[in-house]
Amino acid sequence: MRIDSTYCILFLLMLTLYPTGEVEAQFRKKKKKEEKKTEVIKGPNGPTISARYQYEEEFIGAVGLYVIQDYEEALKIFKDLEKKDPTNDVVKYQIALCLKEMNAFDEAEHKVVQALKLQEGNPYYYDFLKELFKEQEKWGEVLQVLEDKHRKLGEDKEVYMEKASCYLMLSKPYKALEQYDLVEKKFGVDEVVIHQKQRIYFRLDDFDKVLEEGEKLITTYPHIAAYRLAQVRILLGHQQNDKAMELLKPLVQEHPEDGNVQFLLGYIYRGQGNQEGFLEAIEKAIQSEDLDINEKTSLLSKYLASPTEAQLDEGFRFAELALQATPDSYSLNAIMGSFLARKKQWKEAQVYYEQSVKLNPDNFEVWSELLHIDQNIRDVKKLLYHSEEAMEIFPNNLSFYLFNGQANMMEENYLEASLILEQAKRLAVTPEAKGQLNAQLAEVYYHMKDYAKSDAYFEEALRYTPEAPLVLNNYSYFLSLRKEYLSKAKAMAEKLVELYPGNPSYIDTYAWVLYAAEDYENAEKFLAKAIAISEEAVILEHYGDVLFKLGQKDKALIYWKKAMERGGDANEQLREKVEQGKLVE
């Protein structure tokens, strides 16, 4: 029996539409209609009906195995069927399909070539062979298959297009252009072909040809404004503002409110040095629904990167106008948040970032910005809430676990913080990430008073990031508070100050280690250096403590009061020092 390719393809399509039992019913129904045209398999004693039906059943079973991806078993059956009927091209094709899935590309190629010899006009066999070579990036062979297909099956626009792509992969741009020219000659001016040719001419740095191709579209389709706008963009990209204006003028008259027209007009004005015209045109464009959101965000992002306050203010005003026109745009809300963050208006920025992630929860960058702002303004409740949401959406991102761990620490939920951070261990891959995670776990266990675990995690953090400032700072500081391993604490703090000599917080840590070691004179010297750089409340308080130890009690009280004024009023211990006029350890 012979199964023709039409019948085989119909069967494969039916597999996707019907349950197995129904497929077989459809299969048999189809075969009944075709029985008269079907060749009969020759058994040892001549043609037999049972041999024919057995062949059918085996073929159906093998295709079923192929569909469920049991390629090895399917291949065994197809090979057995091939022995029974070596002239069946469909069976050879099915063997090739199995071999391809098993990455036996050479064998698959051999089988489909055999199938093509048996049925030269089958387009599916050509396409299979072509895709087989594509997977192996054998572009010369792909080209040969396309040539054979073209020769055998006649004119086909897609074959020309694919041949052009092959020539591009073979770094033969002029050959590709020949194919695109043939498409144009035989099938007329085509937007896709023109754009492909323009890309090639751009790479060849042939600007005149790029414009020439664009002009074909404008001439062929004069009623489509988009082609003229595209040409204007190209001219602007090559600083040909006068030609761009000449081409754009009719569109300005015909479509004065169109956002794309005004957007390009604005850039022409800017190129001509007409700032007033630029601002007026961009104001219209940015408020228009015609202008794509991506164009708006691209323009606004350039302002965000601007170095001057005047440019930042200009961009901010455009962002406000854009958002008024499209308040439900997640990207414009994010841009507005970024402008406000740049202006250090953190609370207002937080509101826009929140709106952005509400409109599009899948934007990782905006979540990160939002959490950084929560952290900066110490909005612990929102940092906790937002980090939990972010972890749900991005369960494999370490940074959101670290934010959540920090928020729980700030809330003194140390057990919750430890559980979250322990869970995040699987996500720490790089040495930097492992160092950061271990350092945060060390801090959590310190607050839980599990000092053995805390020290172990600090040691692990140092193993991955031996010069990480926060690890050196926190580890040495915590040891000084416990007054344990002070020589180790001093060595780490010294290293920290050597690496970052101008950082007042790190100088303060070193001074505090000296204080814990009762080296008050040297502690005073380093704290004086730190105060000269920054009068932060904690540094002022520490300076007062050292002065008290050195017997300068009145001066100590002055610095404790200064610390209160600098934001230490929430520190209960500091308040007692001021009220009692003495050191409270």
- pLDDT over threshold 90, residue 330: yes
Mapping DSSP onto H, E and C, the string for 491-524 reads: HHHHHHHHHCCCCHHHHHHHHHHHHHCCCHHHHH
How high is the pLDDT of residue 35?
Answer: 46
Distance, in Å, from the CA atom of 89 to the CA atom of 95, rounded to the nearest integer, reads 10
- The average pLDDT across 528-546 equals 94
- Give the model confidence (pLDDT) of 398-409 as tens digits: 999 999 999 999
Question: Which residue shows structure tokens 């090559």?
Answer: 238
Angstrom distances, CA of residue 149 to CA of 121, 160, 163, 177, 462 = 8, 11, 11, 20, 65
% pLDDT > 90, the chain: 76
Mean confidence (pLDDT) of the chain: 89
SS3 46: strand
How high is the pLDDT of residue 328?
Answer: 95
Cα 113 to chain centroid, rounded: 42
Most trustworthy range by pLDDT among 141-145, 266-270, 439-443: 439-443
- pLDDT over threshold 60, residue 360: yes
- The average pLDDT across 460-485 equals 96
Q: How close are the terminal C-alpha atoms of the chain, in Å? A: 99
- Residue 325's nearest CA partner among 298, 357, 358, 292 is 292
568: DSSP letter: G
Name which residue leads in pLDDT, 384 or 237: 384
pLDDT band at 49 (very low <50, low <70, confident <90, very high): low
How high is the pLDDT of residue 11?
Answer: 43
Distance, in Å, from the CA atom of 136 to the CA atom of 109, rounded to the nearest integer, reads 11
pLDDT band at 571 (very low <50, low <70, confident <90, very high): confident
- pLDDT over threshold 60, residue 6: no
SS3 47: strand
- pLDDT over threshold 70, residue 33: no
- The average pLDDT across 511-536 equals 95
The region that residue 37 occupies, defined by phi over 0 for left and psi between -120 and 50 for alpha, beta otherwise, is alpha
How high is the pLDDT of residue 320?
Answer: 96
- The average pLDDT across 108-123 equals 90
What is the token pair recorded at 223? 């009623």
How high is the pLDDT of residue 83?
Answer: 92
Given a contact cutoff of 8 angstroms between Cβ atoms, the answer to whether 90 and 39 are in contact is no
How high is the pLDDT of residue 2?
Answer: 40
Given a contact cutoff of 8 angstroms between Cβ atoms, the answer to whether 515 and 480 are in contact is yes
Name which residue leads in pLDDT, 474 or 50: 474
Question: Which residue shows structure tokens 């090895």?
Answer: 72
- Partner residues linked to 47 by β-bridges: 42
* Candidate from 407-421, 518-532, 555-569 with smallest mean pLDDT: 555-569
The total of other beta-carbon atoms located within 10 Å of residue 340's CB is 21
- Residue 228's nearest CA partner among 202, 260, 185, 181 is 260
- Partner residues linked to 46 by β-bridges: 43
Q: What Rg do the C-alpha atoms of the chain give, in angstroms?
A: 37
What residue type is assigned to position 221 of the chain?
Answer: Y
pLDDT band at 191 (very low <50, low <70, confident <90, very high): very high
How high is the pLDDT of residue 7?
Answer: 39
